[in-house]
Every structure is written in C-alpha cells, then in structure tokens.
Structure 1
C-alpha cells in the first residue's frame, strides 16, 4: 500500500518517520502542557487530520485550502509562524508525560496482551481496506 518516492538528499531517518516524529513531538508537548488528553490527541488525528491525509498530503491539503500553496502561505503564514514559535524544545520522551500517555492508552486495553493483538489486527485490517479503497 505504499508508493516509492525519490529521496534527493541524505538525511537522518526515513522521511515517513521524520514526519511522524514531528506529530508525536507536538502531541507530547500538548499533553505535557495540559492542553489536551492523550486520548483526545488521537481523536484529533484519527477523525480530523488523518481523514484527509489518507488521500492528500499536507502540502496538497494546504494548496486546496486556499488559492494554491502560495495563497495559503500568504493567507495563513503569519498565524502559522506565531504558533510554531510556541512549540518549544524537543521532548525527551521520558518521565511523567510518558507515564501519563502510556496509562491513558492502556485504559482502553485492560487485558493488555490479548487486546493489544486484537487492536493490531483491527488496525491492519483497516489499513488493508483503505489501501483497496485508494486503488
């Protein structure tokens, strides 16, 4: 279900992981700062951004949300920059926030071993169906 892309320059980490790490880092900061719960972060992604990103990437999404990508930058660039300056440093991914997120995610899976396997199977099935839908 994945498509090849051309990497034009060497960088640390896979591109997919780099994008994922950016999202995880901000999710971490939002939970750490008490802005949102771990569960609600996942809802924002699965029922918000994730829905559109299954079909369009972030750049095309911006392109379609205005009169082209340049129009998007002109319209929203100042606000984006203002928000980006509040992101802060890279999280260390340890301590109380790690425990808070871990605890919240296990609440939905009280029988850890069995339910974790079931949840992974559900995820894989959903991804398989989505891949078929995209063809």
Structure 2
C-alpha cells in the first residue's frame, strides 16, 4: 500500500474521537520483516496477515485511565493546554462520569472500557481503507 494511504489511515486513528476524550490507545506500525516473523510466534490469528502484509498494525490499550493518572494529566496539559490538578473541572468530570454514569469502578471495568474504545478506533481505521 502506498505511503500516502497509510498516512491517511493513521491520521484517521489520531483524529477519531473517544468517549470522554482520553484516547486509550497507542498503535505500533510494524514494517520490519524480522519483527513480523517474530510476531508470528505469538500473534495467533494473525499469521496470514503477517505473511502477506508489508505493514502490520498492533493496537496497545492503556490501563487505568482515571482522573488522577499520568495520561489524563498529559492530555490536559499537553493536548488541551489546560492546567492540571486533581480537583480541576475536567478531572472531576472524568471521575464522576466514570464512577456514576459508566460505573467504571474497578480495574477490570476500566480496562474493558479502554479495550472497547480501541476497537472502535480500529474499526474507523478499517472503514478508512475502503476509499
């Protein structure tokens, strides 16, 4: 696939919104043939894709995105340009949304929420390839 199309696909992932705006994903693009060979040993279900693709996307899911996590601080300060503190309006909104609206009250629920957010973004990347 042409680099221009890969750039569009990856840009679609960057621009795709997530629930509450705290992107819970990170994507690795593997275009090294040696790495693809190594992934065949552990990437069950991906063997054929690793065989035929010149690039391969690995989705990583962030754990424990909560109001006082480093990731939330990063988004507030470096993406939104806001001052971060645990009692800030955006931090408290996230806390209340997770605890009351979504009932994300333990690590398992938080992780499953992040996984679902990542799946949605992957779906958007796949949809982008249909142009």
TM-score by length of 1: 0.31
Structure with bigger strand share is 2
Higher RCO, Cα 8 Å, sep 6+ = 2
| Structure with greater proportional helix content | 1
Normalising by structure 2, we get a TM-score of: 0.32
